[in-house]
Amino acid sequence: MTDSKLVILDRDGVINEDSDNYIKSAEEWVPIAGSIEAIAKLSKAGFSVYIATNQSGLSRGYFTLDTLAAMHDKLLGLVNSHGGHIAGIFFCPHLPSDQCNCRKPAAGLVDQIEQASGQSAQGAYFIGDSLKDLQAAATKQCRPILVKTGKGLRTIEQGLGSFSSVPIHEDLSQAAEAILQGVT
């Protein structure tokens, strides 16, 4: 594995509270305790932090691109206010039935991150709360990490299969600390 300085994060359930009914507005977009500070710490330590998120709520008509932009502006503003930086946010607007190449577990979002960053994602940390996140990470030879927030506990209960040796952390804050200490 390369000594990558890329960190790829899923959004819903990793950075912000998730909902089976979708996050449909900037008001509903509420950060998980410690997640904003964790992103800022990673950024300040020299990591390029990218977001890769499935957002089928767009195709379902639950929110508009402008609403999604408002959610992301809120995220960016909070991270910036803590002295951090998010290098890019990439999202898939498609339904699962669209069979696109960008919806995780496909690797299209990671491909976009590689193109934007000008570097390979091989060896990058990829933090998620679902099997789809772990699968997308593995496809691009990233280092997957599972958090228990969001759908994380449900993912563990359903079984990790070939991902049983993936590091598991309570939340993004704990995962970021492990990365910074070089123990994950």
List residues with catalytic annotation.
10, 12
Residue 36: CB atoms within 10 A of its CB come to 22
Give the Cα separation of 75 and 15 in Å (integer): 9
**DSSP letter, residue 64:** -
**φ, ψ at 168 (rounded to 5°):** -120, 130
Give the Cα separation of 125 and 7 in Å (integer): 5
| Integer CA distances (angstroms), 20 to 2, 24, 29, 34, 121, in order | 36, 11, 13, 22, 29
Strands 143-147, 168-169: pairing kind: parallel
**φ, ψ at 160 (rounded to 5°):** -95, -10
